[in-house]
Structure 1
Amino acid sequence: MIVQDVINHIEEFAPLAYAEDFDNVGLLVGDKQQKVTGILVTLDTLESVVDEAISEKCNVIVSFHPIIFKGLKKLNGKNYVERAVMKAIKNDIAIYSMHTALDNAINGVNSMICDRLELINKRILIPQNGNIKKLTTYVPAAEADLLRTALFKAGAGKIGNYSDCSFNIDGIGTFNGNKESNPTKGIKGTIHKENETKITVTFEKHLESRILKALFKNHSYEEVAYEVISLENKNQAIGMGMIAELPESLSEPKFLDYLKTKMNTPCIRHSAFLNKPVKKIAVLGGSGSFAIQAAKAAGADVFVTSDLKYHDFFTAEDSILLADIGHYESEQFTKNGLVALLTKKITNFAIILSKTNTNPVKYF
């Protein structure tokens, strides 16, 4: 196995196409063609984590947070970022991060929080828009079934709980090949009329190269007529945060006790109690103040997140209980989830869970 193989497995469940624009994701350090000796999974790549990888004979670190976030202008070891990167380079250790790609994944960070809290009826809180594309093409009617099947196999035509979705219209296509052409239908230099089927399918944007490869491979024309456009439709399977439910309602104090235990956090900062039962829970790992209004609009009784500022708590406005459990605490089990996901994909050697606690915040 080489590093690229590991990347391929990760991007099956967290495609980088859905990372936020501000993020820095992918292979941050290392050679994609390097043979893998071991994989260490961590939340953050600190120098101590690189030391752990060396000790465990792992030459790949899969890190949720990117150690390189802003541009590096120098590498002289003057800060923790440069020291970690320099040590990784010196020891031929690759570092890969998926960050917000995993935040936006249906089985990613927020799904892991829901599972930790044993919530049911999970759905995306803020579905992402602009990541669904539509392909329209024209094929000889007799070849339509073959092409549709190939497009479906490549991942096109999936809408929610349905697959093999397409729209088809039969009509007449015309074309006239010049002297340089080599038409598979008709004769060059002569206008040809062909019974054609117009096929339209939608697909997730990270599949575009795969869809087009299937189109060109299974279309008989020398020149394939096709259109790809981006849709504004929201993708209900990709996006930030989740909303789910407790199996049974709890009082607000009991829920916070439950939350503290399940998420292994020493304290919870919260807005004023509303003295009403808690049933519907919105969650967003990491800094989630931007999603407060979405949580309220979704009818959540509680919004579990982190990094809320003083004035953010005022926005509860007696309509929702805001619970800030800490940034590290909200994401700490992400590395466990990544180990579980990678273990299903890679079975020929162990995926090692980092034992290093990278939380920079201490409590007195």
Structure 2
Amino acid sequence: MFARGETILQLMERLAPKHYAVPDDKIGLQVGSVAKEVRKVLVTLDVTPAVVEEAAELGAELIIAHHAVIYRPLAHLRTDTPAGALAASLLRKDIAVYVSHTNLDAAEGGINDWMADALELTGRDVLEEVHTDKLFKLAVFVPESHHEQVRAAMFNAGAGWIGDYSHCSFNTKGISTFMPLEGSEPFIGKQGKLTQAEEIKLETVVSHSSKKKVISAMLKAHPYEEVAYDLYGMDLKGRSFGLGRVGVLPEKESLDRFAERVKTALQVPFVRMVGDGSKPIRKVAVLGGAGARYIRHAIFAGADVLVTGDIDFHSAQDALAAGMSIIDPGHHAEKIMKPHVAKWLSEQLLQKGYATEVFASRLDTEPFQLR
């Protein structure tokens, strides 16, 4: 059995929810239709004519890309222009394109975490917050006989997290009253008779992203056909998601040595460096893609160096004047997403019993060459 395209996109949005993206980012389904079974998926950083041919030769019906295939607004769809020809090629070959961009950057376990992992950074924080997962208080009334069962189901579904603490709940015993009416099938009591039952009010915390799953698990584990529960918003701040990461190296090393680490870890042929090569480095900020506008964020975070791409001349001058070192491995360092997304999506599809295969593009879409 092969997964339908809609199912694959739902899985991708579990990894990188759309609401993590920065405003006006070009994400989501950009070309084609996913209202079909998908036998093969190709994961790529960029969608180029060569990548489209690679997908066609592979037999892929869906491309998952990090960079948008339609980034700037199209005034027309002429096939004698590069953008129009690319779109026409995709449509002729019936290949859909789905884009996961800054939402994949911001996601926990997304591009910036993969880059931080490669650089062996620990004790990580977000460089710039773009989304905070709103918290809710969920209270449900459970008969004592099923209290542990319902609580465990809710915890397993993601309830009970406050900061670095899990399985957080408050449990209060009390007496409930209810009268089962005609047509009901009560777990406790009889139709037409006022019933009193010893119940426990189970209170816990759920995030916006997990509440649907938690409530579903709660209702499934609860013995009552009509479950009484309350859900209300809280001012307590939930987990933060955002662009970039700040962490520390296992031990100090010189900027020159760290530059070599970046080249090896991110598999790039060269880096551009700003700063004194003998400067000791321990705290590192990393941000995939173009990060010149985040130099001030790295300084504020107390980083010794910022690893990011597309640094322009004047931004490099400003960073040097401020004492901030920079390692620029190029925008294309985000290619790290290809094997990671392909592996994650393959595992998710396999767990659900689908035969759909996922492949990482073998093509290098780096536009720059050294001479």
Q: TM-score range by the shorter chain?
A: 0.7 to 0.9
Match of 1:35 in 2: 37
Shift in alpha-carbon separation, 1:251–1:61, aligned structure 2, 3 A: same
Deviation of 1:136 (Å): 2.1
Question: Which residue of the other structure, out of 45, 51, 56, is the alignment partner of 2:47?
Answer: 45
Match of 1:284 in 2: 287
Whole-Å Cα distance in 2 between the matches of residues 196 and 207 of structure 1? 25
Q: Is the 8 A contact 1:40 1:354 kept in 2?
A: yes
Q: Is the 8 A contact 1:246 1:281 kept in 2?
A: yes
Question: Which residue of the other structure, out of 349, 352, 360, is the alignment partner of 2:359?
Answer: 352
Match of 2:329 in 1: 325
Q: Is the 8 A contact 1:129 1:233 kept in 2?
A: no
Deviation of 1:58 (Å): 1.4
Match of 1:303 in 2: 306
Q: Could you tell me which amino acid in structure 1 is paired with residue 125 of structure 2?
A: I
Q: Is the 8 A contact 1:136 1:228 kept in 2?
A: yes
Which is worse superposed, 77-86 or 37-46? 77-86
Q: Secondary structure at the match of 2:94?
A: coil
Whole-Å Cα distance in 1 between the matches of residues 29 and 299 of structure 2? 37
Match of 1:114 in 2: 116
Which is worse superposed, 341-350 or 101-110? 341-350
Q: Could you tell me which amino acid in structure 1 is paired with residue 36 of structure 2?
A: Q
Q: Secondary structure at the match of 2:125?
A: strand
Q: Is the 8 A contact 2:291 2:308 kept in 1?
A: yes
What's the CA shift string for 1:54-96, capped at 9, x where partnerless? 1121112121222234555643336444433332222221222
Whole-Å Cα distance in 1 between the matches of residues 72 and 200 of structure 2? 49
Q: Is the 8 A contact 1:141 1:170 kept in 2?
A: no
1:22 counterpart = 2:19: no
Q: Secondary structure at the match of 1:52?
A: helix
Whole-Å Cα distance in 1 between the matches of residues 231 and 115 of structure 2? 40
Q: Is the 8 A contact 2:46 2:66 kept in 1?
A: yes
Q: Is the 8 A contact 1:303 1:321 kept in 2?
A: yes
Match of 2:246 in 1: 243
Whole-Å Cα distance in 2 between the matches of residues 279 and 190 of structure 1? 70
Q: Is the 8 A contact 1:183 1:221 kept in 2?
A: yes
Deviation of 1:231 (Å): 4.8
Deviation of 1:305 (Å): 0.7
Q: How does 1:49-68 map to 2 (within 5 A)?
A: 49-68=51-70
Q: Could you tell me which amino acid in structure 2 is paired with residue 259 of structure 1?
A: V
Q: Secondary structure at the match of 1:206?
A: coil
Deviation of 1:22 (Å): 2.7
TM-score by length of 1: 0.81
Q: Is the 8 A contact 2:137 2:234 kept in 1?
A: no
Kindly, what percent of the aligned residue pairs are identical?
30
Deviation of 1:283 (Å): 0.7
Question: Which residue of the other structure, out of 76, 79, 90, is the alignment partner of 2:78?
Answer: 76
Deviation of 1:10 (Å): 3.1
TM-score by length of 2: 0.80
Q: Could you tell me which amino acid in structure 2 is paired with residue 242 of structure 1?
A: R
Q: Is the 8 A contact 2:162 2:238 kept in 1?
A: no
Question: Which residue of the other structure, out of 79, 93, 96, is the alignment partner of 2:95?
Answer: 93
Q: Is the 8 A contact 2:106 2:244 kept in 1?
A: yes
Match of 2:132 in 1: 130
Alignment RMSD: 3.6
Q: Secondary structure at the match of 1:134?
A: strand
What's the CA shift string for 1:14-46, capped at 9, x where partnerless? 333433333233333344342223221110112
Shift in alpha-carbon separation, 1:247–1:146, aligned structure 2, 3 A: closer
Shift in alpha-carbon separation, 1:28–1:169, aligned structure 2, 3 A: farther
Whole-Å Cα distance in 2 between the matches of residues 4 and 135 of structure 1? 31
Which is worse superposed, 187-196 or 281-290? 187-196
What's the CA shift string for 1:96-140, capped at 9, x where partnerless? 2222222122322122223333x1425233355421321322314
Shift in alpha-carbon separation, 1:210–1:301, aligned structure 2, 3 A: same
Shift in alpha-carbon separation, 1:107–1:222, aligned structure 2, 3 A: closer
Whole-Å Cα distance in 2 between the matches of residues 180 and 19 of structure 1? 50
Deviation of 1:362 (Å): 4.4
Q: Is the 8 A contact 2:163 2:238 kept in 1?
A: no
Deviation of 1:284 (Å): 0.7
Shift in alpha-carbon separation, 1:346–1:129, aligned structure 2, 3 A: closer
What's the CA shift string for 1:141-197, capped at 9, x where partnerless? 4354343233223222234565432233445667899x9996958899999876554
Whole-Å Cα distance in 1 between the matches of residues 294 and 197 of structure 2? 53
Q: Is the 8 A contact 1:339 1:351 kept in 2?
A: yes
Unaligned runs of 5+ in 1: none
- Aligned pairs, number: 360
Unaligned runs of 5+ in 2: none
Match of 2:256 in 1: 253
Q: Is the 8 A contact 2:135 2:237 kept in 1?
A: no
Shift in alpha-carbon separation, 1:344–1:193, aligned structure 2, 3 A: closer
Match of 1:226 in 2: 230
